[in-house]
Amino acid sequence: MTVYLVGAGPGDPGLLTLRGAELLRSADVVLYDRLVTSDVLRLARCDALCIDVGKRPGTDSPAADHRQDDIGRLLVEHGRKAAIVVRLKGGDPFVFGRGGEEIEILERAGIAWEIVPGVSSALGVPGAAGIPATYRGLASSVTIVTGQTRHAGESSGCGHEPDWEALARTGGTLVILMGMASRAAIAAALVDAGRGPDTPVAVIQNGTTAAQRTVCTTLAGLPDVDLGPPAVIVVGPVAGLGWRARGPDGSGG
């Protein structure tokens, strides 16, 4: 009996790894996150027990922490009696997926586990929109950060809040996940820390799916972007490449 933490990728089922698809078709139990698309879930066996364990936006809340405890209990419960359990996570299990915490729970319970990496939305979504994370002469580094913070621009002193001042100084490409609710505060913090208000920004909603939409703006205009989650925010010169938001027919994303 093994629990497999499988990365579902950014949305398009074609971006699920061969190993992930094989396990999903064989699983007795599937515990899936909110961002796992229905197209990916259709790959599961018709008789598999599929359990929605997704947390709603605001994963730093006490209620979400309680939900994470529930997920841990379900992993142990099913991991002890089902032959194959798939814990299906959007993107990659180890990129803001709390995969490490779930591995610790399985280790303490003495349950076998395996990680099946997935395409992270941090790189897969911008790539699908034609935005390279790095580009010679424009960006030699990329930083991935969560935007789920109640105090953008302020240090909590506990290491849990992104250091926006340091991120602004780093330069390169900044990819922000789960940041739409805090986009105004994030933009203000980056500008206050030295990034120009005219810094190019791209916001990609529902990346890699048929509903994908890209909005091009700047840090100054980011608060006015009216797109809901899931969305990835890309900050930096690569977001301003003129060809990157066009589809194959030359139209905008």
Q: What is the phi/psi pair of residue 85, to 5°? A: -115, 125
Model confidence at 111: pLDDT above 70: yes
Q: Which residues are catalytic?
A: 33, 55
How high is the mean pLDDT of the chain? 88
> What whole-number percentage of the chain has pLDDT above 90?
79
Q: What is the pLDDT of residue 153?
A: 43
| Residue spans per domain, the chain | 2-119, 122-240
If one compares 61 and 123, the residue with the highest pLDDT of the two is 123
Whether the model pTM is above 0.75: yes
Q: What is the pLDDT of residue 247?
A: 46
Architecture of domain 122-240: 2-Layer Sandwich (3.30)
What would the mean pLDDT of 176-192 be, rounded to a whole number? 95
* Beta bridge pairs of residue 84: 2
Indicate the class that CATH gives domain 2-119: alpha beta
Distance CA 89, CA 93 (A): 6
Q: Exposed e or buried b for every residue in 142-169, given b needs 16+ CB within 10 A? A: bbbbbbbbeebbeeeeeeebbebeebbe
Let me know if the fold of 2-119 is the same as that of 122-240.
no
Q: What is the pLDDT of residue 134?
A: 95
Q: Quickly state the pLDDT bin for 56 (edges 50, 70, 90).
A: low
Q: Quickly state the pLDDT bin for 171 (edges 50, 70, 90).
A: confident
